[in-house]
Amino acid sequence: MASLSVLRIRRCLELWCRSQKWLGSHVSVAVAMANSCSSGLTPSLGTSICHGGRPTNRKKSESFYCCCIKTSKYNAFNFLPVNLFEQFQRLANAYFLFLLFLQLIPQIASLAWYTTVMPLMVVLSITAVKDAIDDLVMWLPGPLVPHCPFLIFLFPLPSADILLLSSSEPYSLTYIETAELDGTLIPSFCFLFSFFLFFSGEVRCECPNNKLDRFTGILTYRGKNYILDHDRLILRGCVIRNTDWCYGLVIFTGPDTKLMQNSGKLLSVSLQIGSMCFILAIGHCIWENKKGYYFQDFLPWKEYVSSSVVSATLIFWSYFIILNTMVPISLYVSVEIIRLGNSFYINWDRKMFYEPKNTPAQARTTTLNEELGQVTYVFSDKTGTLTQNIMIFNKCSINGIFYGGVYDKNGQRVEISEKTEKVDFSYNKLADPKFSFYDKTLVEAVKRGDHRVHLFFLSLSLCHTVIPEEKVEGELVYQAQSPDEGALVTAARNFGFVFRSRTSETIMVVEMGETKIYQLLAILDFNNVRKRMSVIVRTPEDRVMLFCKGADTILCQLLHPSCRSLKEVTMDHLDDFAVDGLRTLMVAYRELDNAFFHNWSLKHSEACLSLEDRESEISLVYEEIEKDLMLLGATAIEDKLQDGVPETIITLNKAKIKVWVLTGDKQETAVNIAYACNIFHDEMDGIFIVEGKDNETVQQELRYDGRTATAHALEGNLQLDLLRTACMCKGVICCRMTPLQKAQVVELVKRYKKVVTLAIGDGANDVSMIKAAHIGVGISGQEGMQAMLNSDFAFSQFHHLQRLLFVHGRWSYNRMCKFLSYFFYKNFAFTLVHFWYAFYSGFSAQTVYDTWFITFYNLVYTSLPVLGLSLFDQDVNETWSLRFPELYEPGQHNLYFNKKEFVKCLLHGIYSSLVLFFIPMGAIYNSVRGDGKEISDYQSFSMIVQTSLLCVVTTQIALETTYWTMISHIFTWGSLGFYFCILFFLYSDGLCLMFPNVFQFLGVARNTLNLPQMWLSIALSMILCMLPVVGIHHCMRHPLPPPIRTKLKHPSSRRSAYAFSHKQGFGALITSGKTLKTNHCSSSLVFTQFSKEILESLETSINLLFHSHSRGSASSLEGTTQVRQGKVKKEPPDTCQEKTISGLPSTNLSKF
């Protein structure tokens, strides 16, 4: 207990009860103010902010004490201080605040205070407005979760884990949908405390950790101890269902610590600035010694400057202030605006709108757009992502008899089509009209009253966690957590075993028209390890029955020996199902005698109360009763591919994006789907399967280059071997993955490959993977909203991914790169002029420009053109970027903005600043105006330099803009015109006479703009700055791939559905599948022991042709392949090579 942190409940206040009319239900949450006695582990317990819900205005009038729960972070009073505090926590803002303070020190101030204050204010206020809008949006009823009847909004930022105390349900049951478990509904139990406004008790619980399915603690209340486990916890992000209200206690809360980075670049630039300042300070020191000392008659040193060294120290900081305009604060706000704009484009894209569901694509994070253009690895979930996740009860095997196939008169198997006659369910009034089934023999069997068939469907209608809703008599709607379950229960319903309603203790089933009530004695719940669930019910005939359904691999070991032969037959059927790409479950039952069950339930409750290692004890108890099961049969559920998946994957492959499928499904199913959607190709001849049950086998599998590794695939040294093998492969499928393992695989690639990864998934079981990857994409599909809520981008169809990556991602990346290189360039050119001027101004930190120009340069004069560039520019249009996925490749290697590009910007900036400084200098040095008056005064000089600078950077951006829209014209030329307007305003008589000490450049515009020297020097600067750029650009420019030469393979003729056409290739596969099957069974005991650690099986298909260049390791891999399964060569290798080559010329050209 040492590591337990103690929370003491001071008081527990009922905070509010809100009515949500639009949801038609009440959800009330009571939250205790808890403060932590432990220190750093529970950082924000004391504040206890819970994003619970939204107190409507109407409710505010009621006398609920609502002090510490807020949906929104701010109110009218605290907005300013809280928001400012938050903003200054960001490194960049704090840095500029520090600069501002530097500037306020009179001894080192080299710029007027407003040069920093004004941009900072603008940036802060823009961010503040954005935050305020974000905050307001939270108050509005979002269209987020339309189909969940009851929920707590636990918004992504500070949310909380809540301990349930009490709920509206009679048996203190609350159904919650948890995020991290396999997308199931979990009944949570509350303590039945009668109501308390003041409640004192103590909760002892474990420290916050990342084990989401485990929680231990004790609640002490009125001297009694109550055990807390994870059943009683609503984790953050959970959804409450089937519950009118509940009260809870906030246990853990704290801000998400998704990091804001980007501090590295700032640091390196600061260092650079620092070194420049150092040079200048040394220069100043020397100058003061040689010149400044003698100039003291005219400008005495300040009293505190005793020597030139002191002066140089001060000058260092003065230059630090000046040179910091290299990375101005507006960079950050511009980046945010660009990202925001580019995410809006995603939201607005009509081509990513999915009409049947009325869902547009959604960019939920605005910070990742440019990473979308750099994705190298895509990790995809299978179910619901590649497939539609519309589950259809398709086939079944009951008592060794296969149902579900349709045969014609000759006994030939018939493909099911629209025309195939459906089974008539009219005998059953409660049948779901949408359900269709084609095999009449099954209905006949039901009608005949086949005992086994009845039992089979009865078990399907009893063993689940579905929640029925019957708003209108006879119209049942099932709220199923996973669609498999829904499909099974719906199937049972149609065949005449209608699950009608449930309480926490009973289940009402209408069996062939006859209502029966089963007493629910226990639910032995599903979890990742058990991979099965059971219910124990007492039938109306007073028999105690256990119904179990679960993964065949697990269940087949728990069967009674008497059903061995049935098992063999069923396993054969299961293999057939798997080949068809169906999802399978085994169903079994056991009849228990009363005494045995009584004994067991005592043990069960004992185990439930055990404090230590409760879970393993409970699962031991479960295992005790889940044995000697009688096999009933197996179910097969069809899982349809989504539209355009194969095409999308082909396109992704062309762009050298590697698609890995991480699925919890069986290997056979997964391989089938992989073939169907082109992750595996027909011509890939070496599919080899890495599979191991414990560390030794995994080690053997991976020992391909003489390396000995000693630990499990995902946990130890084998990681690297695994990764190396997998990365050489053309397509990778990882099967039987738990959510945690999915995340581990993603982490693995992320850690060692240093490339941008994208995870796409739809279900709650993908959440961890989505969070682990750089970019998480959620498919708003069938399996609830969990994945979507945790994702960065969300849409409803997998094939939108190519648009997201190749159009939006590519553009975003290109725009961001163009933005960054231009932005750095313009600021280098702008700032470095000061550096050169230092050599002529005694290193005295004198700026070249007017302070107002410095203030406005980034804020006004150059902000709009660069924003226009980075919001509207398109290097190639969307058709081209979709047709030539090769164009995506530069992004993966980050070719458009990296250190090299940065150095190029720097060099370009240095060159420009040299031109911008020395051309005007030469023009006015020792020169006079046409009327003999002077020209070489400081103010004219700064005017000439700043005007040439603006002309140069505007021309530069005009050259970089490839896509000239009206807006770009307005922004670019408008800004330049606006500069002259502002110039005349700032240098006007009125303003300068009103504030003579602030605006000192009176008349400079009028007297300088009419000078031939000025325009000649501007023209010369522009020519000198632009010509090399144009010339180099022209020489380096890669001509676009000529369309004639590129043979584009239109993938229209691809199969759209399952892998039936892969018959030849499948022979080997199926046999290997069978041998694997036995392996599974024989070694599954080992598997349960190591279950937590082992990546159970990993399948790899490798196209040796594509990777024959990867030398030794590839050949050793070939060896492995040969050992595993004789090579099946389907097509001559030439086809493949041809394909490679046909792709090559265009890439080569584009590189040229």
Partner 1 sequence: MKRKFQNSQSRLPDNTAVKQQQLPAYRLQLSAKEILSGFFATGVFCLGIGIILLLSAKSIKEIEINYTEKCANCAKLRENAANFDRECTCSIPFYLSEAMRGNVYMYYKLYGFYQNLYRYILSRSNSQLVGTDIKDVTNCSPFKNSPDGTPIAPCGAIANSIFNDTIVLSYNLNLSIHIKVPMLRSGITWWTDKYIKFQNPGSHNLSSAFAGTTKPLYWPKPAYELDEEDPGNNGFINDDFIVWMRTAAFPTFKKLYRRLHRIQHFTEGLPAGSYSFLFLDFPVSRFQGEKSVVLSTLTWSGGSSLFLGLAYVVTGAVTWLAFFSMMAIHLRLKERKVFFLQ
- Residue ranges of the annotated binding site for ATP are 381-383, 485, 526, 549, 583, 663-665, 736, 742, 765-766
Q: Least distance from C-beta 845 to partner 1, angstroms?
A: 5
**β-pair partners for 589:** 547, 630
Q: From CA 778, how far away is CA 384, in angstroms rounded?
A: 10
Nearer to partner 1, 612 or 931 (CB): 931
Among 171, 407, 752, 963, binds partner 1 (CB under 8 A): 963
Instruction: Specify the residue for token string 């929920």.
Output: 151
Q: Which two tokens stand for residue 917?
A: 């400084």
Site string for partner 1, 791-830 (x = CB under 8 A): --------------------x-------------------
- Kindly provide the residue ranges of all beta strands, DSSP E only, lying in 787-861, ordered along the sequence: 793-795
Show the binding pattern over residues 761-780: x = contacts partner 1 (CB under 8 A), - = does not. Answer: --------------------
Exposure class string for 920-954: b at 16+ Cβ within 10 A, else e: bbebbeeeebeeeeebbeebbbbbbbbbbbbbbbb
Among 81, 513, 922, 1067, binds partner 1 (CB under 8 A): 922
Q: Which of residues 836-865 bind partner 1 (CB under 8 A)?
A: 840-842, 844-846
Residue 584 belongs to what H/E stretch? strand 583-592
Question: Which of 727/867 has CB closer to partner 1?
Answer: 867
* Residues between 870 and 899 with contacts to partner 1, criterion CB under 8 A: 872, 874, 878
CB of 1023 to partner 1, least distance (A): 6
Q: Which of 502, 583, 929, 1080 binds partner 1 (CB under 8 A)?
A: 929
Q: Whole-number minimum distance, CB 936 to partner 1, in Å?
A: 5
Q: How far is the CB of 437 from partner 1 (least distance, A)?
A: 29
Question: Which one among 925, 973, 980, 985 touches partner 1, defined by CB under 8 A?
Answer: 925
H or E stretch at 41: none
83 C-beta neighbours (distance < 10 Å), count: 20
**Cβ nearer to partner 1, comparing 77 with 1152:** 1152
Query: How does strand 25-36 pair with strand 5-20?
Result: antiparallel
Q: What is the CA radius of gyration of the chain?
A: 35
Of 166, 1051, 330, 1110, nearest to 730 by C-alpha is: 1110
- Shorter beta-carbon distance to partner 1: residue 596 or 984: 984
Span near partner 1 by CB under 8 A; candidates 76-84, 177-185, 917-925, 1095-1103 = 917-925
Shortest CB 512 distance to partner 1, Å: 39
Interface of this chain with partner 1, residues 265 to 294, rule: CB under 8 A: 291, 294
Nearer to partner 1 by Cβ, of 223 and 356: the residue is: 356
Which residue number, 668 or 850, has a Cβ lying nearer to partner 1? 850
**In the window 932-961, what residues touch partner 1 (CB under 8 A)?**
932-942, 959, 961
Q: From the CB of 348, what's the least distance to partner 1, in Å?
A: 4
Question: Which is it for strands 506-511 and 401-403: parallel, antiparallel or unpaired?
Answer: unpaired
What residue numbers does the annotated binding site cover?
Answer: 381-383, 485, 526, 549, 583, 663-665, 736, 742, 762, 765-766
Q: Which residues, 601 to 640, sit near partner 1 by CB under 8 A?
A: none
User: Considering only CA atoms, which of 176, 167, 221 is closest in space to residue 198?
Assistant: 221
CB 156 within 8 A of CB 73: no
CB of 935 to partner 1, least distance (A): 6
Binding mask 64-103 for partner 1 (x = CB under 8 A): ----------------------------------------
**Binding site per annotation, positions for Mg(2+):** 381, 383, 762, 766
Q: For partner 1, give the closer residue by CB, 307 or 1071.
A: 307
In DSSP notation, 448-473 reads HT-HHHHHHHHHHHHSS--EEEEEET
Considering only residues 192, 197, 928, 1085, which one is a binding residue for partner 1 as defined by CB under 8 A? 928
Provide the minimum distance between the beta carbon of 115 and partner 1 in the complex, in angstroms, as a whole number.
14
Could you say which residues in the range 976-1035 bind partner 1, by CB under 8 A?
A: 989, 992-993, 996-997, 1000, 1002-1003, 1006-1007, 1011-1013, 1016-1017, 1019-1020, 1023-1024, 1027, 1030-1031, 1034-1035
Please, which residue, 869 or 1076, has the CB nearer to partner 1?
A: 869
* Least spacing, CB of residue 361 vs partner 1, in Å: 9
Coil vs helix vs strand at 1 = coil
Closest CA to 394 of 670, 566, 637: 637
Among 264, 300, 1126, 1132, binds partner 1 (CB under 8 A): 300
Torsion of CA 409, 415, 418, 424, to 10 degrees: 50
Q: If you search the block for the tokens 């008899």, which residue do you land on?
A: 401
Per-position b or e across 729-740, b if 16+ CB within 10 A of its CB: bbbbbbbbbbbb
What residues are labeled active site?
Answer: 381
Residue 1036: phi and psi, rounded to 5, are -85, -15
Please, which residues have CB within 8 angstroms of residue 105's CB and are 6 or more apart in sequence? Answer: 317
Q: How far is the CB of 932 from partner 1 (least distance, A)?
A: 4
Give the pairing of strands 630-641 and 362-363: unpaired
How far apart are the C-alpha atoms of 516 and 525, rounded to whole Å?
23
Of 102-121, binders to partner 1 (CB under 8 A) are 110
Give me the sign of the Cα torsion angle 856, 861, 866, 871: positive
User: What is d(CA 29, CA 150) in angstroms, rounded to the nearest whole number?
Assistant: 13
Question: What's the longest Cα–Cα distance across the chain?
Answer: 119
User: What is the closest distance, in whole angstroms, from the C-beta atom of residue 369 to partner 1 in the complex?
Assistant: 13
Binding residue for partner 1, selected from 299, 414, 477, 1144, defined by CB under 8 A? 299
Q: Which residue type is seen at 571?
A: M
Query: Among residues 922, 891, 485, 306, which one has the least CA distance to residue 656?
Result: 891
Place of tokens 């040069």: 115
Q: Return the residues of window 1087-1106 that contact partner 1 according to CB under 8 A.
A: none
Give 902 or 918: the residue with its C-beta nearer to partner 1.
918
In angstroms, the first-to-last Cα distance of the chain is 66
Q: What is the dihedral of CA 597, 602, 605, 606, to 10 degrees?
A: -140
| 965 vs 1084, beta carbon nearer partner 1 | 965
Q: What angle do CA 694, 697, 698 make, to 5 degrees?
A: 80
Span of 7-15, 209-217, 545-553, 925-933 interacting with partner 1 by CB under 8 A: 925-933
Q: Which of residues 132-191 bind partner 1 (CB under 8 A)?
A: 143
**667-676 and 564-579 helices cross at what angle (nearest 10)?**
20
Taking CB under 8 A as the criterion, the residue among 321, 921, 983, 1018 binding partner 1 is 921
Q: Quick one: 740 or 983, whose CB is closer to partner 1? A: 983
Which amino acid is it at 1073?
Answer: G
The residue (of 459 and 942) whose beta carbon lies closer to partner 1 is 942
Burial 327-343 (b: 16+ CB within 10 A, else e): bbbbbbbbbbbbbebbb
Q: How many residues bind partner 1 (CB under 8 A)?
A: 88
CB of 1022 to partner 1, least distance (A): 10
1147 binds partner 1 (CB under 8 A): no
What is the C-alpha separation between 944 and 1017, in angstroms, rounded? 8
CB distance 649 to 720 below 8 Å? no
The single residue among 82, 126, 967, 1086 that binds partner 1, judged by CB under 8 A, is 967
> Residues with Cβ < 8 Å from 574, sequence gap 6 or more?
397, 552, 584, 586, 634, 636
Stretch 309-368 residues interacting with partner 1 (CB under 8 A): 318, 344-345, 347-350, 353, 355, 358-360
